[in-house]
Each structure stands twice: as C-alpha cells, then as structure tokens.
Amino acid sequence: MLNNPLRILQALDGYLTSPFELIVYGRSALALGYPNAPDEFAATMDVDAILPSKDLQAIEENDDFWEAQDKVNTQFSDAGLYFTHLFEEKQVILSPQWYTRIVPLTAFGF
Amino acid sequence: MLGGTPHISALLRKARRLGYTTPDDLVRLAVVRGCRHYSTPDYEVKDIHECGKDIFSDAELAVALISGSLNGGAQEIRVAAQLLGAPDLKATEIARLAQMERVVPIIRYISEAGSKEDMENREFWTSLLARLPQSRPIKHGRMPHPDRFMSKPGWSPPSRPARQSVWLRPQKPVHAE
C-alpha cells in the first residue's frame, strides 16, 4: 500500500530549500512514527502538523515553507492528497510538556 | 464558532500577502468582482486592489471568505454563496479547497440550499454536493437562512406578472477608473 503521508512529506522535503522543523500530528504521525501501524493510517489523504506558538511569526514570514507547501498541493491535486491542516499548538489538545517529547522521524532521510 | 477547530490557513495567508488582511477586504474584493448586492455607500472601488483571478480565483476568494468567517460572520458566508453561484466555477476545485480549508460543513450547507433553490444552476450544486465528504451538520440557527442567499420579490399586485426568487450571482465586475 502507498504511504500517503510519506509521499506528501518527501515531496515537501524536496521542495524546501532550507531546513524546516515540522511536527507531524495525528494519523500521519501514527503511520510514520510507530512500527506496524494499521494500514488505514498510511491511507490518510493529508498530513496534519503542529506549529509551535513561539515560531509562528517566523513561519508566517517563511516564504520558502509556504511555497513548498503550495507546490506539494499542486503536485498532488489529481491524487486528492493535500497538506494544509496546520495547527498552532493552542488549537489542539496537548500535554503541558509536549514539545520536549517530540520524536524525530529519522528513518526516511528528510 | 460554527463547530470546527480553527487552523492556520494557508489560503488566508495567501490573501494577506496579496493585501487582503481582513474579512472586510475580502468582501470588498468580492464586491469589485460583481457581488454588488453587498456593497455599502462607503465602499470605493479604488480602495481595493484587484490582484486578478489568475492569482486569486473566485473559488479561492469564496473559500477564503468562509475560512475567515469561522467566528460566525454571516455576511462573509452570504457573499461566498453569491460567488459560488457564478456560472464558471468548477465543483472539483471548490470541493478540494473546502477540504483543504476545513470548511466542508459550510460549503455543504450552501450547496444544499443551492440544490433546492437555484434551479438554474442545480446541476452545479448537485455535482458539488457529490464531491464533498460527509460532515456533521451545523447546528440549527448558526448559518444564514437560505433566503439570505437569494433575491426574494416583495408583494406585487395580482395584476402584475409574478416575480420569481432568484439566487444572487455576481454581476459584471466593477473596474476602477
């Protein structure tokens, strides 16, 4: 089965011209961050991500990221995949120390 | 709020980068593009920059109006409904934008109203509904009544021809001098 989150993130990685820390959230995180995740997680049509509040202004001004995001959505338009569900940390339910517990996805060469 | 979780909208960021920083700026752009029903005396065409539909399409503008109205702006939703009634929009593009911007329930509400009330464009509304994923209905009373998407004739004497209700559509765009 095709891993849609991986397709989206590999495409994003290819379009970015400078490093960007993206915190993947939801089914995509389950599909990529855990061994033997159910196939249905890999079939999700999008990638959700959390943007830390402390970085928000810098991200708003980061044209490289937004242009890469736009290119990803254009690339996958026909496939129905998309990458637009970005949440500021206060818009989702997180534990108080969530940022210290994020786990890098090292297996994919991003 | 209309029952959804807000998110950081890439579409609204695009609008901001084009100079449309508030929901009112988006309404004014829609007025320039023919939604004159929502013009007010203080609106001046020259006050708003028309970036061009090739840069920011009517579909993007309609969805941005809805995305920017998640705090409950009925006016923006009504303007979006009028834009969506334009004859040249593609249901596939709007359905995709609706999912990407997490506004499916509102687009669905407008489309359901259109499929019942806008006979002239019924095929479009039905096509759009078929492309939208299922979503939880919006609580009663949170959205403008479908009548607000239409021009309804007032009373006229029986001797006069009966006038029909019509879905509001954009008229010929206004151009600044």
The model's pLDDT over A20-59, given as tens digits with 9 standing for 90+, comes to 999 999 999 999 999 899 999 999 999 999 999 999 999 9
DSSP annotation of A46 reads B
Confidence category of residue B1, pLDDT binned at 50, 70, 90: very low
Cβ pairs bridging A and B (under 8 Å): 35
> Residue A78's domain spans which residues?
4-101
Model pLDDT, residue B2: 58
* Residue B134 confidence (pLDDT) above 50: yes
Confidence category of residue B151, pLDDT binned at 50, 70, 90: confident
Does the complex come out with an ipTM higher than 0.90?
no
Among partner residues B7, B11, B99, which is closest to A91 by beta-carbon distance?
B7
* Inter-chain touch A86–B10, beta carbons under 8 Å: yes
Nearest CA in chain B to A68: B10
Model pLDDT, residue B42: 79
pLDDT above 90 covers a percentage of chain B that reads 66
Nearest CA in chain A to B93: A77
Beta-carbon contacts of residue A48 (< 8 Å; ≥ 6 apart):
A24, A25, A26, A27, A28, A29, A85, A86, A87
Lookup: tokens for A7: 């397709």
Run of H or E residues at B150: strand B150-151
Q: Is residue A66 part of a domain?
A: yes
Chain A residues touching residue B100 (CB < 8 angstroms): 73, 82, 84-85
* Residue A81 confidence (pLDDT) above 70: yes
* Inter-chain touch B10–A69, beta carbons under 8 Å: yes
Reported as a single tens digit per residue, the pLDDT across B156-168 is: 788 887 778 899 9
Shortest distance, CA B8 to any CA of chain A (angstroms): 5
Model pLDDT, residue B177: 46
| Domains held by chain A: number | 1
SS3 at position A24: strand
Burial class of residue B14, CB neighbours in 10 A (0-12, 13-18, 19+): middle
CA-CA distance, B171 to B85, in Å (whole number)? 11
**β-bridge partners, A87:** A50
Would an 8 Å CB–CB cutoff place A64 in contact with chain B?
no
CA-CA distance, A8 to A14, in Å (whole number)? 10
User: What CA–CA distances, in Å, run from A93 to B25, B80, B126?
Assistant: 32, 31, 36
Whether A76 contacts A11, CB under 8 Å: yes
| Mean pLDDT, residues B142-160 | 86
* Residue B175 confidence (pLDDT) above 70: no
CA-CA distance, B149 to B92, in Å (whole number)? 22
* Residue B176 confidence (pLDDT) above 60: no
Q: Pick the residue of A85, A92, A94 with the most B CBs within 10 A to test the interface with B by mutation.
A: A85
* Inter-chain touch B100–A82, beta carbons under 8 Å: yes
Q: Is residue A108 part of a domain?
A: no
Reported as a single tens digit per residue, the pLDDT across B24-83 is: 999 999 999 999 888 887 777 777 899 999 999 999 999 999 998 765 689 999 999 999
